[in-house]
Structure 1
Amino acid sequence: MPDWLAIILLGIIEGVTEFLPISSTGHLLIPQNLHWLPQKSGLFNVVIQTGAVLAVLAVFTKRLKHLAGTLGEPSTRDYLAKLFAAFFITAVGGLMIKKFDIELPETIPPVAWATLIGGIIILVLEYLHKDKRGTDDITWTVVVAVALAQLLAAVFPGTSRSGASILMALAFGMSRPAATEFSFLLGIPTLMAAGAFKILSAVKDGKAGQEDWGMVVLGTVVSAISAFIVVKWLIRFVQGHTFNGFAWYRIALGTALLVWVGTGGGR
């Protein structure tokens, strides 16, 4: 397979899965570990996530303009403060993970378990949230819980950053649309910071020159386009649907991967 075609496929996978509750990192690692697509660097896998940020900026342009134009209002300052606080907790946690050299799993079994368990948790939380409309208000408890959910997703590929943060907000009483918006907007600084940190680390370690930056740009652009389509669709979808469908998909995928590993497919 030509390298450019593999990059386009990886970009599509990233863009489609970044904001769905099914884990973009897990879906990037699976085809690479199964050797369906060529193995790419951690730098590539992280940086192309910034393309998804461009999609959120495009979809939420009106909302972002409203926030920028109402900075004098207490409600806007409160919302932005809570966004910043959630990002700050996530960033500090991410730096601690880096400082203590915590190795993130990149093989099939832990990704499969995270995918399977995550699907079960979604079903449980959706059942507990059944028939509850929730509130649009964001409490500081929600802020901390969402930030911790993002860290959990960072440590266990297959968890899903957006899925974990949205469901955590739902568990603490937020409405589905408000939880989704907060998660998506929080993804802007989170994913941008992760990409910038990965690039700076690569430059510092002398690995930046080893990367094919043309392919990184291609993957990022494809990610942005596919993520834009998915985000627009998902914003409408969450107005009247649960995430149960995604949960069953995760359970089926996680189970299939574990069976594959158990029958010697990983050898």
Structure 2
Amino acid sequence: MDWLQAVLLAILQGLTEFLPISSSAHLILPSQLLGWVEQGLAFDVAVHVGSLVAVLIYFRHEVIAMIRAWFAWVFQGSKSADGRLAWAVLWGTIPVGLVGILFSSLNIVDDYLRSTGVIATTTIVFALVLWWADNKAVEARDEHSLGVKDIIFIGCAQALALIPGTSRSGITMTAGLLMGLSRTAAARFSFLLSIPAIILPGGLKAYELSASEQPVDWQLIALGASVSAIAALTCIHYFLILLDKIGFKPFIYYRLALGLVLIVMMF
């Protein structure tokens, strides 16, 4: 992989990790259309670290407040809205963690779900589900109002994102809308949920990398992480600004078009 490929893949990862358009659908396009080789485990870890850094920087004040409130809740019994949100992120991560362990142990994704056909289907199907949820949205609540039922529903929805093409951000925003959250609140909670959702598989990949003898181009790795972080930070910032103005419709239309392109590529 050369420097130009590294930059383009890092930008793709940084943008699609947080937009409701599916990163897996986009990361197969360069190899399918341009014949690029797979980026490799080390680069995959690097761009995910970049995405993680971006969301931690953007939500640094919220994350610090949530951590403090969570410790105050656990050790002092002091309940608060920030503490409740911290619990929501933790409990909402459990379903994807459990399903991820199951899928990993049975190698379900690599053996059965990484085909272009699966990704094209899920890209289109979950675009339609997002369209339905966006039209049905009540938009009466923020992320601090989430209850147990809401957290379970959104957490289970996030587990569906293990199927390539679903889009983790897309499915969690969809679930948030169905639970009555505003568009911005659904997006903000989705981004907060991404922190453990990136850390868990990223940590596993980093462990696999440390155990392998694969040579690592550290300059390329640093470039990928940096570009991914910048792209992701820019994406989060402008997405939250524009969301209330443009809604989800442009992303829905884009997903439908992308799914059709992937179907055409199969024949």
Same fold flag (TM > 0.5):
yes
The answer for the alignment partner of 1:121 in structure 2 is: 129
The one-letter code of the counterpart of 1:189 is P
Q: Are residues 1:110 and 2:109 paired? A: no
Structure 1 residue 47: Cα displacement: 4.2
Where in structure 1 are there 5+ consecutive unaligned residues? 263-267
The one-letter code of the counterpart of 2:146 is I
The answer (yes or no) to whether the contact 1:8–1:222 under 8 Å persists in 2 is yes
The answer for the alignment partner of 1:89 in structure 2 is: 95
Q: Are residues 1:227 and 2:226 paired? A: no
Check 1:25–1:216 CA distance in 2 against 1; reply closer, same or farther (3 A cut): farther
Partner Cα distance (1:41, 1:171) in 2: 37
- Coordinate RMSD, CA, aligned: 2.0
The one-letter code of the counterpart of 1:113 is T
The answer for the alignment partner of 1:175 in structure 2 is: 182
Cα displacement string for residues 188-243 of structure 1 (whole angstroms, at most 9, x for unaligned residues): 11102211111212333x25x34434323321211000111110001112234321
The one-letter code of the counterpart of 1:56 is V
Partner Cα distance (2:262, 2:233) in 1: 29
Partner Cα distance (1:12, 1:220) in 2: 10
> What TM-score does the superposition give when structure 1 sets the normalisation length?
0.88
Partner Cα distance (1:44, 1:147) in 2: 28
Partner Cα distance (2:238, 2:222) in 1: 25
The answer for the alignment partner of 1:55 in structure 2 is: 54
Structure 1 residue 144: Cα displacement: 1.7
- Give 1 or 2: higher helix fraction: 2
The answer (yes or no) to whether the contact 2:18–2:169 under 8 Å persists in 1 is yes
The answer for the alignment partner of 1:22 in structure 2 is: 21
Partner Cα distance (1:116, 1:189) in 2: 27
Partner Cα distance (2:42, 2:126) in 1: 25
Structure 1 residue 42: Cα displacement: 4.8
Partner residue of 1:250 out of 244, 252, 255: 255
The answer for the alignment partner of 2:7 in structure 1 is: 8
**Sequence identity percentage:** 30
The answer for the alignment partner of 2:204 in structure 1 is: 197
Partner Cα distance (1:185, 1:109) in 2: 30
The answer (yes or no) to whether the contact 2:20–2:251 under 8 Å persists in 1 is yes
Structure 1 residue 34: Cα displacement: 2.6
Range 68-77 or range 14-23, more displaced: 68-77
Cα displacement string for residues 2-22 of structure 1 (whole angstroms, at most 9, x for unaligned residues): 701100010011111111000
Partner Cα distance (2:207, 2:86) in 1: 27
The answer (yes or no) to whether the contact 2:127–2:252 under 8 Å persists in 1 is yes
The one-letter code of the counterpart of 1:165 is T
Partner Cα distance (1:139, 1:43) in 2: 38
Partner residue of 1:157 out of 153, 161, 164: 164
SS of the counterpart of 1:234? helix
Check 1:79–1:163 CA distance in 2 against 1; reply closer, same or farther (3 A cut): same
Partner Cα distance (2:222, 2:115) in 1: 26
The answer (yes or no) to whether the contact 2:129–2:174 under 8 Å persists in 1 is no
The answer (yes or no) to whether the contact 1:59–1:228 under 8 Å persists in 2 is yes
> What TM-score does the superposition give when structure 2 sets the normalisation length?
0.88
Range 3-12 or range 217-226, more displaced: 217-226
Partner Cα distance (2:237, 2:185) in 1: 15
The one-letter code of the counterpart of 1:169 is G
The answer (yes or no) to whether the contact 1:87–1:190 under 8 Å persists in 2 is yes
The answer (yes or no) to whether the contact 1:134–1:176 under 8 Å persists in 2 is no
Where in structure 2 are there 5+ consecutive unaligned residues? 73-77
The answer for the alignment partner of 1:265 in structure 2 is: none
The aligned length equals 256
The answer (yes or no) to whether the contact 1:15–1:225 under 8 Å persists in 2 is yes
Partner Cα distance (1:171, 1:46) in 2: 32
Partner Cα distance (1:38, 1:216) in 2: 16
SS of the counterpart of 1:103? helix
Partner residue of 1:139 out of 144, 147, 150: 147
